[in-house]
Amino acid sequence: MGHKPTERVLNILNLLSINPKGLTLTEISEAIDVPKSTLFPIMQTMLERNFVSLEKNSLKYSIGISAFCIGASYPRDKYMLDFIQKIMKDIVTNIDETCQMGILEGNNVFYIVKEDPIKDMHFRLISHAGKRLPAYCTALGKALLSEYSIEEIKALYPDGLKAVTKNTITDFAVLEEQLKNIRQTHVATEVEEVTEFLRCYAVPLTSKGKTTAAISISIPTFRATEEKNKLAIELLLKAKEQIDAVDLD
């Protein structure tokens, strides 16, 4: 006999993998013959860990972005990750600065991929693949949080926004205004909020209208000229357009 809780998780993932348009809790319950009362806490845990996503209007669950974190389990996820990494490498080639990709895990950014320029390895970022940092004080995190209401963000940070550096935004109202701007421009900005002498830009990546990941460019402040900042934004917006246009269904 198999381990029943594990079997249920695997059955859910298998079911969602063959239903790309998503399924409601009731539909999943009926398909795998598990009561909704038993199924709901499982789905909540999977949702919190980004193994499934929930479309708020239809209340349908679908496969989540954490598929990226388990490598090539799905050929199409492996294809997508390779595609994004190629674009990130092109960004690094064009701007000679570090490019990173992350997802939201709880209230933190979980860094998946990092591409560094070959030149100038003297300036080291504290982030790296596998690293987690508070989402509210990173450009990647702000891009990932941009769809959230201020009430949802306050629920993510019940103890408030803690300062990491002297420049960290700790006021929910200020953060809310930044998120409104990101929704309009698709560009998130962070200046020395988590790492001194570092400016970052990021854009959210969307699938079926939902933010699933984000990519960023980090620039040491002594190299952050007006020209380079403009180039970073242009490269990220172009990358977003290319990545968001890919249809994996």
Q: Which domains, and CATH codes, for the chain?
A: 4-63 (1.10.10.10), 74-244 (3.30.450.40)
Q: What is the pLDDT of residues 35-82, one digit of tens each?
A: 999 999 999 998 888 888 888 889 999 887 775 555 445 555 667 888
Q: Which of 198, 193, 67, 204 is nearest to 133 (CA)?
A: 193
Looking at the whole model, is its pTM more than 0.95?
Answer: no
| Cα–Cα dist 165/27, whole Å | 47
Query: Per mean pLDDT, which range of 48-57, 157-166, 227-236 is the poorest?
Result: 48-57
Mean pLDDT value across residues 150-158: 95
